[in-house]
């Protein structure tokens, strides 16, 4: 059974107007503050060891990334052999293999890792023995790796949201490219200037695809999902309501985005709407960089629009994490921890950051090495992703992630509509109240069954 949505499913849902999500943040790297080498294991023995490494193959670049990491680490540590456990659903794969008594030694998770917190080895002892300082890592990432005070994963990286901008479309509309401090009102005004533009074959060029990136956006602008104790849901607030209202209004009122049915025809892949020039502004995560670089037109990114509500200016980007988990009780756990340490260390994260796969969780590496590779100039403003890590709240940090996100999406779709049924049956406020009520019920039931 699947405990949480896969990253691929989240992207698909984001495209069709349903939910996209992931949540959390990152941790330490061996040797960051000391002299110990990142490329060698820390154990006293170099006896041959074989590690089984779970990794999802959502895209070819993602598989190539894992292949590079395994090969590079084994070259530096010849006594370590790493066998991949490929899959397309980490939650399902880990659940099945753990239940069957044949789990991997470690693995990538990505979304909703809290659901398997009882199967993961707490990582604080491994961090301490390898002199890893969590303060060297993005604070939100470190916090999201915890459940009830215990660190249950090695955070490797983070994905946030940025707005990809087709600069030629803005120029044709007589507008300067947007900046990091633009507001949602600015986005609407720009979109209305795009209505006269057409692409090849006379197809319309839309101002943006904002509402199709993630229905988790409203809670991000509202400050998050629940209180620090995990006892009270906090989504029903004015900022969340305004952001939620805007998502449908983008196509239903302002007409600056395609309606759900038209968007389904445009978004034939995760990035098709932008790479084919159909959107002037495209909301996406770091996964949008590689496909956009393959296109010849001029583009850049800026931070997501600022929400202005009640005189306050609020940022609220999507936030997903890339964490490495150790399976409790496996015989090669120290060797697995060495590999995990390298995966969250500067050498690996520098390579990953240069490729644009994820934002490194290590702060210094993120600021200095999350850059374009040699010979590539796009996006010039790539650090917009890193800046978003300061204000993007993780997605539903709770073992009931799947049910809570399901309740959220079920309620919100009654306002947002879907590609197959774009009509709304509730107002934005009614949908938000329903989400709050059902999520609170789920939270209460879980806390009652799982007291601290």
DSSP string, 239-264: HHHHHHHHHHHHHHTS--S--HHHHH
Domain map of the chain by residue range?
22-160+319-388, 162-316+398-449
pLDDT category of residue 18 using cuts at 50, 70 and 90: very low
Query: What tens digit of pLDDT does each residue of 400-424 get?
Result: 999 999 999 999 999 999 999 999 9
Averaged pLDDT of the chain: 89
Q: Which helix (H) or strand (E) holds 383?
A: helix 383-388
Give the number of other Cβ atoms within 10 Å of residue 46's Cβ: 12
- Whether 22-160+319-388 and 162-316+398-449 share one fold: the answer is yes
With a cut of 70, say whether residue 34 has pLDDT above it. no
pLDDT confidence band for 194 (50 / 70 / 90): very high
In the predicted model, what is the mean pLDDT of residues 54-79?
94
pLDDT, tens digit (0-9, with 9 covering 90-100), for 238-271: 999 999 999 999 999 999 999 999 999 999 999 9
On the CB side of 373, CA atoms within 13 Å amount to 11
pTM of the complete model = 0.87
Q: What is the spatial distance between Cα 245 and Cα 421, in angstroms, rounded to a whole number?
A: 18
Q: Please tell me the class of the 162-316+398-449 domain.
A: alpha beta
Residue 150 has pLDDT above 70, yes or no: yes
**pLDDT band at residue 42 under the 50/70/90 scheme:** low
Q: Return the CATH superfamily for domain 22-160+319-388.
A: Periplasmic binding protein-like II (3.40.190.10)
For 36-40, 51-55, 368-372, which range has the lowest pLDDT when averaged over its residues?
36-40
Q: What digits encode the pLDDT tens for the residues 282-295?
A: 999 988 998 999 99
Using one digit for the tens of pLDDT, what is the confidence trace for 75-103? 999 999 999 999 999 999 999 999 999 99
> Got the DSSP string for 106-140?
EEE--S-GGGGGGGBPP-HHHHHHTT--GGGB-HH
Alpha helix segments (H runs only) across 45-115: 60-76, 90-99
Residue 8, pLDDT above cutoff 50 = no
Confidence band of 173 (pLDDT split at 50, 70, 90): very high
pLDDT for residue 51 is more than 50: yes
Q: What is the pLDDT of residue 175?
A: 97
DSSP H helical segments within 224-330, as ranges? 238-252, 260-266, 272-275, 289-293
State the pLDDT at residue 220.
95
As a whole number of angstroms, the distance between CA 249 and CA 207 comes to: 13
Q: What is the DSSP letter of 55?
A: E
6 pLDDT tier (thresholds 50, 70, 90): very low
For the stretch 307-360, pLDDT in tens is 999 999 999 999 888 899 999 999 999 999 999 999 999 999 999 998 888 999
């Amino acid at each position: 059974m699947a405990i949480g949505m896969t990253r691929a499913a989240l992207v698909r849902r984001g495209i069709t107007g349903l939910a996209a999500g992931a949540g959390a943040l990152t941790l330490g790297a061996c040797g960051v503050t000391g002299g110990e080498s990142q490329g060698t294991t820390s154990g006293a023995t170099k006896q041959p060891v074989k590690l089984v490494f779970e990794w999802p193959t959502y895209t070819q670049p993602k598989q190539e990334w894992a292949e590079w990491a395994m090969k590079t680490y084994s070259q530096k540590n010849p006594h370590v052999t790493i066998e991949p456990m490929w899959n397309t659903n980490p939650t399902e794969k880990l659940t099945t293999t753990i239940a069957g008594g044949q789990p991997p030694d470690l693995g990538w998770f990505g979304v909703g890792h809290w659901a398997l917190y009882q199967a993961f080895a707490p990582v604080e002892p491994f961090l301490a023995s390898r002199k890893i300082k969590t303060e060297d890592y993005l604070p939100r990432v470190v916090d999201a790796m915890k459940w009830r005070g215990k660190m249950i994963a090695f955070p490797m990286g983070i994905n946030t949201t940025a707005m990809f901008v087709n600069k030629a479309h803005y120029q044709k509309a007589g507008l300067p490219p947007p900046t990091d401090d633009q507001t949602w009102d600015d986005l609407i005004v720009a979109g209305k200037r795009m209505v006269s533009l057409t692409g090849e074959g006379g197809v319309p060029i839309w101002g943006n695809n904002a509402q199709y990136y993630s229905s988790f956006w409203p809670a991000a602008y509202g400050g998050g999902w629940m209180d620090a104790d995990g006892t009270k849901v906090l989504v029903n607030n004015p900022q969340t309501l305004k952001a939620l209202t805007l998502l449908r209004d983008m196509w239903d009122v302002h007409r600056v985005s395609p309606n759900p049915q038209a968007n389904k025809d445009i978004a034939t892949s995760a990035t098709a709407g932008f790479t084919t020039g159909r959107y002037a502004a495209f909301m996406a995560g770091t996964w949008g960089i590689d496909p956009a670089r393959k296109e010849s037109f001029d583009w850049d990114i800026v931070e997501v629009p600022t929400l202005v509500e009640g005189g306050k200016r609020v940022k609220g980007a999507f936030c997903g994490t890339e964490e490495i988990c150790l399976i409790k009780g496996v015989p090669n756990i120290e060797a697995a921890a060495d590999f995990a340490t390298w995966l969250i260390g500067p050498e690996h994260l520098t390579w990953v950051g240069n490729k644009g796969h994820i934002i490194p969780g290590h702060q210094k590496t993120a600021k200095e090495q999350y850059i374009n590779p040699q010979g590539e100039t796009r996006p010039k403003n790539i650090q917009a992703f890193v800046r978003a890590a300061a204000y993007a709240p993780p997605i539903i940090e709770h073992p009931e992630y799947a049910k809570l996100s399901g309740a959220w999406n079920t309620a919100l779709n009654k306002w947002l509509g879907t590609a197959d049924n774009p009509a709304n049956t509730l107002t934005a406020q009614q949908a938000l109240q329903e989400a709050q009520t059902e999520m609170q019920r789920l939270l209460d039931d879980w806390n009652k069954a799982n007291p601290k």
